[in-house]
Amino acid sequence: MSNGINAKDVAKLAGVSQPTVSRVFFGGASVSEKTRKKVLAAAEELGYSPNEFARSLITNKTRIIGLVMKGVKNPFYPQVLKEFTSHFKKLGYSILFVHTSNDEIQKEDVETLLKYNVAGVIITDATLSLKVTEDFKKNKIPLVLFNRKVEGQNFFTVGTNNLAASRKIAEYLIQKGCSDMVYISGERNTSTSIEREKGFSEVLEKHQLGYQQYDSDFSYEGGYKTAKKIIQKGEIPSAFFVANDIMALGVLDALRENNILVPAETKVVGFDNIDMAGWPLYSLTTWEQPISEMVEKTVKYVLAEIDEYTGMTENIEIKGQLIERKTT
């Protein structure tokens, strides 16, 4: 309890029964205006607020949202965390933060979420097994994959329209005169990596252009090392399309270290539009993922499912836009 005082104390002071106090605070029940005022005054005087645990025990509901995150080193995700926290705070929900170190969330993480009977789960950059999904379904806990999808499985997902975005990027680079290009992916099996490559390759193919693909890991170091490798081979492409910004910054640094001029000798396009992409010395051309809009759609769905669980799934895809800067 938040302090020593409970509904009974308030009831006594207000001269009503304890259930009446409960009715005032829980809402949805009819209480006369007079009684309500008496109760609220007494509660105010005593500094009462309902015990969340007793409440949860009875209602089997909580006002806690589980947020699972992996890549805290990519500035995109702390930003996402912040936005979710602010949004949900306004709605009276709190965030249980779960950090996972695997691409697929682990049993212990799920146990935590279930133990606290979270009202909803948002996974920002990881996936989960079918079994785990069932655990959530069974408990009617709404689940959103944020910025991820899983092949052949239905989830409610919120992300950017990666196909459309990467097609646009390909067209943009071709129009800029690029022909021999490189695509650097993040972890190979992530939907974002796959989709971004797919749209990109489709357009190149249509223009009868090939491209080189390199695996990396969505990290600065990964982008840096991959670019180094490419540079060492002495085959500088006319453009790099990099699956996220933080890797693209690594690519830019590797190029700069080797005195390869951007955009004169090669061009670089990232994805996300993290703050750093706008820093003057990077000034990275990228595709904006509109975090606010993505967060809003996610919150809207979660709230609706909390209100009435349907288990409905859908792939929400926000458009986003190309942010043209100095690397192209």
Taking CB within 5 to 8 Å according to partner kind, which of a second copy, DNA, none is near residue 48? DNA
Cα(205)–Cα(290) distance, integer angstroms: 29
Taking CB within 5 to 8 Å according to partner kind, which of a second copy, DNA, none is near residue 253? a second copy
Rounded to the nearest whole angstrom, what is the least distance from the CB of residue 35 to DNA in the complex? Answer: 3
Strand-strand pairing, 211-215 and 120-123: unpaired
Assess 133 for contact with a second copy (CB under 8 A).
Answer: no
Taking CB within 5 to 8 Å according to partner kind, which of a second copy, DNA, none is near residue 116? a second copy
Taking CB within 5 to 8 Å according to partner kind, which of DNA, a second copy, none is near residue 35? DNA
> HSE (CB half, 13 Å, CA atoms) of 220?
10
CA nearest to 276, candidates 31, 6, 76, 21: 76
Rounded to the nearest whole angstrom, what is the least distance from the CB of residue 232 to a second copy in the complex? Answer: 15
Assess 25 for contact with DNA (CB under 7 A).
Answer: yes
Q: Which of 73, 137, 140, 207 binds a second copy (CB under 8 A)?
A: 73
Output the CA angle 276-280-285, nearest 5 degrees: 65
Q: Which of 45, 108, 134, 314 binds a second copy (CB under 8 A)?
A: 108
Going residue by residue from 28 to 67, which x/- string records binding to DNA, judged by CB under 7 A?
xxxxx-xxx-----------x-xx--xx-xxx--------
Taking CB within 5 to 8 Å according to partner kind, which of a second copy, DNA, none is near residue 280? a second copy
Assess 78 for contact with a second copy (CB under 8 A).
Answer: yes
Beta-ladder partners of 123: 68, 145
Q: What is the CA radius of gyration of the chain?
A: 25
Assess 85 for contact with DNA (CB under 7 A).
Answer: no
Binding stretches for DNA (CB under 7 A)? 1, 6-8, 16-20, 22-23, 25-26, 28-32, 34-36, 48, 50-51, 54-55, 57-59
Binding stretches for a second copy (CB under 8 A)? 1-3, 49, 51-54, 56-57, 60, 62, 64, 67, 72-73, 75, 77-79, 81-82, 85-86, 89, 94-99, 101, 108, 111-112, 114-117, 138-139, 220, 224, 249, 253, 256-257, 275-276, 279-281
